[in-house]
Every structure is written in C-alpha cells, then in structure tokens.
Amino acid sequence: MIGIVDYGMGNLLSVFNAFEYLGLSVKICSKPEDLSQVDRIVLPGVGAISQCILKLNESGFTEALNEQVLQLAKPTLGICLGMQVMAKQSFEGGTHTCLGWFDADVVRLNPGNSTLKVPNIGWNTIQFDKQIPLFKGLPENSDFYLVHSYQVQVRHEAERVATYQHGETVTAAIMKDNIFATQFHPEKSQDLGLTVLENFINWKP
C-alpha cells in the first residue's frame, strides 16, 4: 500500500487520484502512526515552506518520517514543496531549517533575464539520467509541468538526476538511496507524469 502524507498542505487529492487511476490502493496518512501501515510514502506539497515545516513539526510527522524514511528505508517520493522540504534549509521568506535528508539548500530561481518569469509556471523539457529506473519509458525531450519560485541546490551533483533550463540550470529531480523527489508535478503532467508514478510504484531501491 502507498501512503500519502496529509499534513494540511496542497494537492493531496490530485496525487491520490493519480495513484488510484493506476490501480493502486492508496492510504491518506493524516496521523504520523498511519505511516507504519504503508510500504511506500509520498510527500506532496504546495504552498509556503514556513507553513510546511511548521505543520510537519507540530503534527509529529517529522519524527515519524525520519524513522520510516531514513531508518526503515521505505521508498519515498517527494513532489514540489515535498521535495524542497527534504533539503537542509530553505531561504524562502527567511531561513527555515528543513528535514535535512539531502545536503542541499533551497534558493530562489534566478534566471538573470528579465523576460523569464518567476514563478516559472508551465511545461518544460526535462533532461534526465536515463539509467534511473524512475525515468524508464520516457521519450527524449519529455515535457513536465512545473510551478515554482524556488529550487533545490544539492552539494553532491550525483544526487541531481534531472534538470531543465530557465535562464540557468534548474533542479528537476533528486535521488538518494530510497528517496526520489521531483520539482515537477507528475500528477499534473498527463501520460508522462503517470509513467513516472508507475515507475515509482515498481521501484526497488
């Protein structure tokens, strides 16, 4: 069973519907102890990082996630803000300490060209590491939907498994051990997005 962390931030229903559409049994985990009943974890999220961290900490999810993801090594997928929160710290509206699963900072997009907008909203062609099982079956130049103003900058380049161009190279996905996370929204990227979610279901890290 796949568990979606419900900590009061964002596009839970879309993620739920996408996995259900793929024929999976999905559990919405609204209490930290629910996580022990699932074997894969999805951490979604849309919104502001300060709220996100506050809610994870207040609800007790931070501790439970550290145990389930880091110690029990359950395959885990972060999406958008759910990816950013896996960094060490975020500079969105101040400095916020995050989960620290990746040695990474979250910094504002800086396209350095006034015709390129922030937030970047829309479909972008993603360059990805073809060796990664999570990108199996994707054609070259696959487009995915993104909507964000901040990006994850990893210190270990090997952890960055997908990028795209927006006046600068932007991190589109990161991976480490049993954790995979995307800045793009697979649940909003039509068929190619569903392919990534299906790959996650079958992923054996």
198 is an interface residue for another protein by CB under 8 A: no
Supply φ then ψ for residue 195, to 5 degrees: -60, -45
141 is an interface residue for another protein by CB under 8 A: yes
76 is an interface residue for another protein by CB under 8 A: no
Q: Check if 80 is active-site.
A: yes
Contact call for residues 164 and 127 (beta carbons, < 8 A): yes
110 is an interface residue for another protein by CB under 8 A: no
> Of the candidates 62, 142, 151, 182, which one interacts with another protein according to CB under 8 A?
142
11 is an interface residue for another protein by CB under 8 A: yes
Closest CA to 87 of 2, 160, 149, 6: 160
Spell out the residues 6+ positions from residue 107 whose beta carbon is closer than 8 angstroms to its own. Answer: 91, 150, 151, 153
175 is an interface residue for another protein by CB under 8 A: no
Number of residues that bind another protein (CB under 8 A): 47
Give min distance, CB of 116 to another protein, in A. Answer: 6
Q: Check if 52 is active-site.
A: no
Of the candidates 29, 52, 166, 187, the residue annotated as catalytic is: 187
Interface segment toward another protein; rule CB under 8 A; list 24-32, 57-65, 163-171, 172-180: 163-171
48 is an interface residue for another protein by CB under 8 A: yes
Amino acid at 65: L
Q: Check if 148 is active-site.
A: no
What span, in angstroms and rounded, lies between the C-alpha atoms of 95 and 88? 10
127 is an interface residue for another protein by CB under 8 A: no
What span, in angstroms and rounded, lies between the C-alpha atoms of 135 and 180? 11
Nearer to another protein, 74 or 185 (CB): 185
137 is an interface residue for another protein by CB under 8 A: no
Active centre residues (catalytic)? 80, 185, 187
Residues of the shown chain interacting with another protein in the complex, contacts defined by CB under 8 A: 10-14, 17-18, 20-21, 46-48, 51, 81, 114-125, 139, 141-143, 145-149, 165-167, 185, 187-194
